Amino acid sequence: MQPFVMRESMEFDVVIVGTGPAGLSAAIRLKQINPALSVVVLEKGVEVGAHILSGAVVDPIGIDALLPGWRREEGHPFKTVVTQERFLMLGEKGAWNIPNALMPGILSNRGNFVVSLGNVCRWLARKAEALGVEIYPGFTGVEVLYNKAGAVIGVVTGDMGVKKNGSHGLNYMPGMELLGKYVLIGEGARGSLAKEVIARYALDRECSPQRYGIGLKELWEIDPIYHQSGLVLHSFGWPLDECTGGGSFLYHMEGNKVSVGFVVHLDYKNPYLSPFEEFQRFKTHSAIRGIFTGARRVAYGARALTEGGWQSVPKLIFPGGVLIGCAAGFMNVPRIKGSHNAVLSGMVAAEHVAVAIAKGRAHDEVAGIEDSWRVGVIGRDLLPVRNVKPLWAKYGTKLGMMLGGFDMWCQQLFGFSFFGTMHYKKTDSAMLEPAFLHDPIRYPAPDNVLTFDRLSSIYLSNIRHEDDEPCHLLIKDKKLQEMSELTVYGGPSIRYCPAAVYEWISEGNNKRYVINAQNCIHCKTCDIKDPNQNIEWTSPEGGEGPVYSDM
């Protein structure tokens, strides 16, 4: 029995969950419109930016709208403008440059910046605090509070100091209720509170299932002779096979740093596939490996991203709140970026919520948000590319990319698509096929110079989790995990997890499922890809997980 604990509660005008670009932009916009509004923002990471991981090439369209004049200010993080773009198709041996002239105009990165999105968030947080926004890193939103009418009225922060067996330790501290007229959920892809409200209010009733990818990233300090500030390189093809979507990014940032990463679409079918090892293998390609000569890896991380696009964005509004940013899913897959839409979606939500509050409203649906995003800037960004990812998923890499390119050209030249709007039928987890249909993939062993294993990688993620806390990764049915995840699917969790959290350990004739929750870097891939939806990611204690810097 859990002892009964009284929680304190506090009231605000607006409660925001998550200090990503969406949450912070919403907070800033609210205070710009009405400085008297009380706005609180929760962040589960130990500081703002600690759990932010992105490429990132940022389209400044959002920041320009939010903070006009920012370019003239000191101390902003946008130091490296994109100077050159290359798009490669990789084969096992060769690499083909796709001429920029063939690329549809919307894919151009002209005027965009290579940045650390974590540092952008740290900068936005300073802006928000200067406007009087209260930001509390180290505090998770773990529970949604509803009133009798069924509307959201706030969130509860996580308890601290709970022991593994559920008892309260000596320094136990109960969570707190943060009540707001409106709650904005900006937890990023597959947020746990967003998942709950989407299910409760059936917000995804009329859209395609959301689709996801896993992005893995490393930060390297490279030899200055190979460094070319502002060079942006993308690739597709090898090492992924024809029927697996994904590709790489490699961005030259300031300070001789290179941000290199790999995205694998989580609709892959082969349970033997390991996104982590595909990434490691990618770096060994003859067209890539050279720039890492004499370089050192300084950071590693991974995070799921939403990829469904236009047709997978759920209804954003529910009584008492709004989904913002990737908690809804505004990533533009062919442009390989979404943070600009996250900023814009936070702003749209803030503008309508501020008006509603000014009219004395609370805990209701703010309909204007739903009506405006599809016809506004975000919609105009996502609509023309809506078929690119479905075409890729349906026709494989080569044909799919050609059709996708053709479709984007049609959109650019004639403003229409031959394909209408292609929908997704299944979730990513349902796309996984039984192991007997596939052959195991043999990945090369790491050389510990250019390629690494998971444990030496997460060492660079600065992870912390309390030893004696309840496991935050819940297996709903333990038997099912062995009967299906292991026996039918060959234990894909040991491969899709980028942090070596899951293990199947042999004990005599039996296999035991071991969950090394302390390794978790909060990417949420298990919650998305487990074939039976049997793993649930929940928030551990506030302030835990990775501490990314410059990521």
Q: Which residues bind other proteins (CB under 8 A)?
A: 8, 10, 46-47, 50, 116, 118-119, 122, 134, 136, 139, 157, 160-161, 170-171, 173, 176, 221, 256, 298, 448, 459-460, 462-464, 547, 549-550
49 vs 390, which CB is nearer to other proteins? 49
* Pairing state between β 152-157 and 231-237: unpaired
Other Cβ atoms within 10 Å of 384 Cβ, number: 22
How far is 289 from 283, CA to CA, in rounded Å? 6
298 vs 514, which CB is nearer to other proteins? 298
Q: Which two tokens stand for residue 342?
A: 């996250």
Give me the sign of the Cα torsion angle 467, 470, 473, 479: positive
Could you tell me which of 343, 412, 354, 406 has the C-alpha nearest to residue 378?
A: 343
* Pairing state between β 95-97 and 39-43: unpaired
Cβ 326 to other proteins shortest distance, Å? 23
Cβ 457 to other proteins shortest distance, Å? 12
256 vs 532, which CB is nearer to other proteins? 256
157 vs 339, which CB is nearer to other proteins? 157
Cβ 171 to other proteins shortest distance, Å? 5
How far is 266 from 350, CA to CA, in rounded Å? 32
Could you tell me which of 382, 387, 353, 384 has the C-alpha nearest to residue 370?
A: 353
257 vs 265, which CB is nearer to other proteins? 257
Give me the sign of the Cα torsion angle 199, 203, 208, 214: negative
Cβ 549 to other proteins shortest distance, Å? 5
Residues 476, 483 contacting (CB under 8 angstroms): no
Q: Which residue has the tokens 């990533």?
A: 331
361 vs 464, which CB is nearer to other proteins? 464
Cβ 49 to other proteins shortest distance, Å? 8
Cβ 389 to other proteins shortest distance, Å? 33
Cβ 198 to other proteins shortest distance, Å? 27
Cβ 97 to other proteins shortest distance, Å? 31
Q: Which two tokens stand for residue 248?
A: 């790489």
Q: At a CB cut-off of 8 Å and minimum separation 6, what does 510 contact?
A: none
55 vs 209, which CB is nearer to other proteins? 55
Cβ 321 to other proteins shortest distance, Å? 20
Cβ 336 to other proteins shortest distance, Å? 24
129 vs 364, which CB is nearer to other proteins? 129
Residues 547, 523 contacting (CB under 8 angstroms): no
Q: Which two tokens stand for residue 461?
A: 């993620």
How far is 271 from 115, CA to CA, in rounded Å? 34
How far is 214 from 523, CA to CA, in rounded Å? 8
Could you tell me which of 511, 521, 465 has the C-alpha nearest to residue 164?
A: 465
With b for 16 or more beta-carbon neighbours within 10 A and e for fewer, the 239-257 pattern comes to bbeeebbbbbbbbbbeebb
Q: At a CB cut-off of 8 Å and minimum separation 6, what does 496 contact?
A: 214, 266, 273, 274, 275, 525, 526, 529
Could you tell me which of 66, 195, 116, 43 has the C-alpha nearest to residue 524?
A: 195
Cβ 173 to other proteins shortest distance, Å? 4
221 vs 482, which CB is nearer to other proteins? 221
**Under the phi-then-psi rule, with left for phi > 0, alpha for psi from -120 to 50, and beta for the rest, what region is 132?**
left
247 vs 301, which CB is nearer to other proteins? 301
- CA-derived radius of gyration, the chain: 22
8 vs 371, which CB is nearer to other proteins? 8
75 vs 420, which CB is nearer to other proteins? 75
402 vs 449, which CB is nearer to other proteins? 449
Q: Detail the DSSP E strand segments found in 34-103.
A: 39-43, 57-58, 80-81, 84-90, 95-97
Could you tell me which of 344, 61, 327 has the C-alpha nearest to residue 183?
A: 327
